A and B are shown apart, each in its own frame.
Chain A
Amino acid sequence: MISGKLLKNIVMCSMVLLIITTAFIGIGCVDQTETVSQENTVSQENTEQESIIIKGSDTILPLSQAESEEFMIANPEKSITVIGGGSGVGIAALIDGEVEIAMASRMIKDSERENAEANGVNPVEYVIAWDGIAVVVNPENTVTELSFDQLKGIYDGSISNWADVGGEDLPITVITRDSSSGTYGYFQEEVLLDEEYRQDALVQPATGAIVQEVSQNKGAIGYIGYAYLDDSVTALALDGGEGFVEATPENIMSGDYPLARPLQYYTNGEASGLAKEYLDYVMSPTGQDIVSDVGYFPVN
C-alpha cells in the first residue's frame, strides 16, 4: 500500500498547489486584462495610448464624467474611464501607476509628494476649475451668516448651541465628511486652521448623505461642494475677515467668497498622449463651458 499512500499524498499536494496557483494567477490577471485590451485597440500607425483612467475626488467626479463623455463623443475611438473614491485615493493610484490622471480637490500633501518621488513618479498639477464650499443649514434655521471664528467654534467644539451664534436655542448637530474626502482636508485647513474636528461630529461617507441629513434635521450644519447645493438646504453667508459674502457664483468667481478652492488634475510628469489631448479639451472654451454646466466655475 506504500504506492497507494504515496499516490494519495502526491495527488493531494498537487491539488492544493494547483488551486492556490490558479487563485493567484486569477488575481494577477485582474489588472492585466485592462492593459491587454488597451494594446489591442492601438492601431498600427498610431502607437499612442487610446484609453486612460482618471480617478480621485468625488467632488470632481461629476465634472470629469461630463467632460469625458463629451470628449468621447467627439473622439469615439478613444476611451476614458472615470472613477471616484476621494482625492487621497486618486493620488495614491497615481503614485502606484494605476491611473494616468488623478483628480484632487486639495493640493497634494508633502508626504504624498515624497511617496511619489520614492516611486519615481513626478506629480504635475493642472487647475481645471474652481469650486466653492457652501456651508449649509436647514432652511428652517434662522441663522443666515457666520464668521470664520464662529464656524471654527462650531466645528472645534467650543460652540454647541445655535443661540450662541444668534439663532434659536437648539443644539448644533455638526456634520463632516470622512477623512478620505478632499473637502474634509480643505475645510480643516481653511476653517479649523489645521486643528482637529470636534470628536462628536457626525461623519458622513458621502456629500449626498450630508445634504440628506441637513435637509431633515433643523439643528444640523454641514459643508458641501457648490455643485451639490439645492433647495433642500440653505447656504450661509460667510465672513473670512472682509465682511459677509454670500455663496453665489459671482462671489466665488471673483474670489470674494472665502471658501473658494481650485480643483485639479495631477499627471505623472507633463501630460502626454491621450491625457494631454483630454486636458487640452477640458481647458478649451468647450470644456470650460461644461465646467459651468456642471455647477463649477471656469478657470479664466
Chain B
Amino acid sequence: MSNRKIKEKGIESLLFASGAVTVVALLLLCIFLFRDGYLLFDNYPVSSFLTDTKWYPTADPEHFGLLPLFLGSVIVTIGAVLFSVPLGIATAIYISELANPKIANILKPVTEILAGIPSVVYGFFGLVVLVPFVQNTLKLPTGQTALTGSIMLGIMALPTIISMSEDAISSVPRALKEGSLALGSTKWQTIYKVTAPAALSGISAAVMLGIGRAIGETMTVMMVTGNSAVIPGFPSGLFAPVRTMTATIALEMGEVPQGSDHFHALFAIGSVLFITTFIINIVANYIKRRYRFNL
C-alpha cells in the first residue's frame, strides 16, 4: 500500500471519528437522561406523573404532575407559532419575491442578527419593556403571562423561519413562476397559487424547526412567563402566568438534592422535553424529504 493511500485513509478516519463523537455524545446523553428519569418511577407511579395536575416537588407527599408543565410549554409554543409563522412567511415571501435586491440584501442579514442575540437579553427586554406593556394594555393582574412569553419566543423563532422559508421559496424553479406569469396571472396570484404551494414542504419544515426552537427555549421564558405551575385554559391561559418544562428544570435544579425523587423528576421532564423536540425534528426532516420539489 502506498504512502499516499495511508495518508488518505488516515484523514478519512479522522473525519469519521469527528462525526462519531457527535453520535457517541448523543447516545451517552440519552442513556444518562433516560436512566436518571426512569429512576423516578421506582418510587412514583408513571400514571401519577402523567396525569397529576399538581407540581409540588417539595411538599409532603410530593406531587410530580407533568401536565401543567407540559401544557404550559404547549400553550406558549402555540402562541409563538401564531405570532411568528404569519410574520415569518410574509417576510420570507417579501425578501425572496418582492423586495428589490438592495432592500433584500439589508433585510436578510438583519433578521439573522436577531438569532445572535443571547436569550437572557431577550428575557431582560421582555421583563422590563413587554411585561408592563402587556399588563397595562390588556388590563391584566400581571404582565407575566404566556402571551408575553409567546411574543418573545415568536421573535426568537423568526430568524429560523424566515431564513429557511426564504431558501425554500427561492429554490422554486424559475420556469414555474414564469409559466404562471405568462398565463396572465398577476404577481400576487403567482405567489399564492404557484410559488407558495411549491415551496410548502420547505416552509413547513421551517415552521417545525421554529417550534422546536421555541419549545426548548429556557431563559427568556423563565424571566417573562411568571412560572405558575397551573394547567392553562385555552385560549384564556394565554393571558395568565404559566410554567414551561424548561423553566421548571432551570428553576429547580439548583436546590435539588442529588439522587432524590425530585432530582429524578427533573430528569424525567428533561426526557419528555428531549423526546418532544426529537419528534419535531424527525417530522421536520420527513416533511422536507417527502415533499421535496422534484422537477
Q: Which residues of A contact B (CB under 8 A)?
A: 3-4, 7-8, 11-12, 15-16, 18-20, 85-86, 88-89, 92, 111-112, 115, 170-173, 178-181, 196, 199-205, 209, 212-213, 216-217, 219-220
Contacts and interface: CB of A to CB of B under 8 A. Distances in A.
Contact of A200 (B10, B59, B127, B241): B241
Interface of B: 1, 5-6, 9-10, 12-14, 16-18, 20-21, 24, 54, 56-59, 68, 127-128, 131-132, 135, 141-144, 222-223, 226-230, 240-241, 243, 250-252, 254-258
Given A16-B21, A220-B142, A204 B255 contact: no
A8 B141 contact: no
Contacts of B5: 4
Which of B5, B128, B252, B254 counts the most A-chain CB atoms under 10 A from its CB?
Answer: B254
Contacts, number: 112
Contact of B17 (A7, A12, A112): A12
Contacts of A220: 142
Contacts of B256: 88
B140 to A, nearest CB: 9
A85 B252 CA distance: 11
Which of B14, B18, B141, B143 counts the most A-chain CB atoms under 10 A from its CB?
Answer: B141
A179 B127 contact: no
A157 B17 CA distance: 57
A202 B254 contact: no
Contacts of A209: 127, 223
B227 A11 contact: no
A229 to B, nearest CB: 20
B230 A200 contact: yes
Given A20-B24, A92-B257, A112-B257, A12 B227 contact: no
B20 A16 contact: yes
A199 B230 contact: yes
A92 B258 contact: yes
B17 A179 contact: no
Contacts of B127: 209, 212
A213 B128 contact: no
B229 A205 contact: no
A173 B128 CA distance: 17
Contacts of A89: 254-255
Contacts of B12: 8
A74 B12 CA distance: 59
19 contacts: A7-B6, A8-B13, A11-B10, A12-B16, A15-B13, A15-B14, A18-B17, A19-B17, A88-B254, A115-B257, A170-B141, A178-B252, A180-B254, A201-B228, A202-B226, A203-B228, A209-B127, A212-B127, A219-B142
A15 B21 CA distance: 10
A209 B247 CA distance: 15
A200 B254 contact: no
A88 B58 CA distance: 12
A118 B234 CA distance: 48
Nearest to B5: A4
Contacts of A204: 227
B57 to A, nearest CB: 7
A180 B255 contact: yes
Contacts of B229: 199, 203
A92 B229 CA distance: 26
Nearest to A185: B58
A179 B257 CA distance: 12
Given A112-B257, A171-B141, A202 B227 contact: yes
A196 B59 contact: yes
Contacts of B6: 7
Contacts of A85: 254
A220 B131 CA distance: 13
A179 B251 contact: yes
Contacts of A171: 141
A3 B6 CA distance: 11
Given A11-B13, A217-B142, A179 B228 contact: no
A8 B254 contact: no
Nearest 9 A/B pairs, CB to CB: A180-B255, A15-B17, A203-B227, A88-B255, A180-B254, A202-B226, A178-B251, A171-B141, A11-B13
Contacts of A179: 57-58, 251-252, 255
A111 B257 contact: yes
Contact of B241 (A20, A92, A202): A202
B78 to A, nearest CB: 20
A253 to B, nearest CB: 30
Nearest to A96: B258
Contacts of A7: 6, 9
